[in-house]
Structure 1
Amino acid sequence: MIENDIYKTITKPAQGELFKDKNSKFYGFAFPVTNEEQIKQHLEELKKEHYAARHWCYAYQIGTETIHYRANDDGEPNNSAGMPIYGQIQSFEVTNILIVVIRYYGGVKLGVGGLINAYRTGAQLAMEASKIVERTIKRDYQLKFEYKNMSKVMRLLKENDVEIINQTLELNCLLEISVRKSHSSKVFDMFDQFFGVDIKEL
């Protein structure tokens, strides 16, 4: 059964093999990202590092339930670079990722078909060099209860394989828990009906 709370992403930056076409060189890079600030930073660093390149075309996708994406041709003909790169993000079914393909111009025009192929291949090589992992979408909750209920609460958490991300254990106890999305309503209802425990979504 395919769970609706699993997504694929990459764990660390990767560089694909060089792709050449008529003296133009294409270098593909993939980065794990979760916000636009990180995307901006990676682009700035690549532009410094590859200052002699002609184009820095890219596509990114961020989000797991609400998806946000963008494709940028960076001066290449319309849809000849950004969208072929984005196509590889879709084809590898990954999110929270930025792919940049840098072009060093070799003096010969490739035409739109040649460009589409080159940028698609550059992105594909970057993806093939990346380590793709599966991650689970989680829901986080806070539990509030008196110390006397501690052992019951802990037993339920253990039985339901719930991860504790933070705890304050005093007279009144506060626990922050992280629950896999597909199990979250079951866990919420269980504690919601537990007399003496307050649960709220974080």
Structure 2
Amino acid sequence: MSSKQLNYLTISKAGQHELIIKKSKFICSLARTKTVEEAQEFIEQISKKYHDATHNTYAYTLGLNDNQVKASDNGEPSGTAGIPELKALQLMKLKNVTAVVTRYFGGIKLGAGGLIRAYSNSVTEAAQNIGVVKCVMQQRIQFSIPYNRIDEINHYLEENRISIANQEYTTNVTIQIYLDLDQIQKVEDDLINLLSGKVEFNKLDQRFNEIPVTDFNFHEQ
């Protein structure tokens, strides 16, 4: 799997967003979920919270390749709620997210097309309102340098916006940095050149770094 395939979009946190459409209230609740159990637990939690609602519809997509998906209309006409919600999540390329859209009927029928738009827009607007992040896989790398090179190396790291995980001062200065997988080789080469080859790198753990997405041009992520 390439480094780009390890990067994905998801919501920044759990949250809710409310829409009023022709007197019907649509409350979209979103949460990060990585397993079917987590998704079901969230669906049950929201359904219990809004047990008096007309409908509690839902959709979820789990895994970086939409490995597990499910949608439910919960009594709405077939294909007018859960599937539009799922398609909204997939169009935004969001991963590991469960959406529950609660509807309180306001007395005016929306028709099939109106329902599809309402449930789809509810999810899209909720995600944009809550916030979206790009999760980028990073490698933690450790190396040591002499004290007299610290200013030069810190300047390089700052200039290239490289996250410093830790700096420890003993006989030398031991530095830990986080690098995107596709920038490891270049940064290591740069540091080797700066330090005249007198440096060794140790790869430690990996983590996802979350970067806020502000343009919502999901097709280019």
- TM-score, length basis structure 1: 0.66
How far, CA to CA, are the matches of 1:97 and 1:149 in structure 2?
Answer: 48
Question: What pairs up with 1:12-161 in 2 under 5 angstroms?
Answer: 12=13, 13-20=15-22, 25=24, 27-33=26-32, 35-36=34-35, 39-40=39-40, 42-61=42-61, 66-68=64-66, 70-73=69-72, 75-76=74-75, 79-95=79-95, 97-104=97-104, 115-127=115-127, 130-133=129-132, 135=134, 137-145=136-144, 147-148=146-147, 151=150, 153-161=153-161
Aligned-pair CA distance for 1:83:
1.8
Aligned-pair CA distance for 1:88:
1.7
Structure 1: where are the runs of 5+ without partners?
none
- TM-score, length basis structure 2: 0.62
Aligned 8 A contact 1:141 1:178 in 2: yes
Matched pairs, number: 193
Decide whether aligned partners of structure 1 residues 161 and 109 sit closer, same or farther in structure 2, where only a CA change above 3 A counts. closer
How far, CA to CA, are the matches of 1:28 and 1:104 in structure 2?
Answer: 9
Question: What pairs up with 1:150-189 in 2 under 5 angstroms?
Answer: 151=150, 153-171=153-171, 174-189=174-189
SS in 2 for 1:60: strand
Structure 2: where are the runs of 5+ without partners?
206-221
Decide whether aligned partners of structure 1 residues 143 and 18 sit closer, same or farther in structure 2, where only a CA change above 3 A counts. same
Residue 195 of structure 1 corresponds to which residue in structure 2? 198
How far, CA to CA, are the matches of 2:32 and 2:80 in structure 1?
Answer: 24
* Alignment deviations for residues 78-99 of structure 1 (CA, whole Å, 9 cap, x no partner): 5442220022223444445432
Aligned 8 A contact 2:54 2:105 in 1: yes
Greater displacement, 105-114 / 26-35: 105-114
SS in 2 for 1:31: strand
Aligned-pair CA distance for 1:143:
0.8
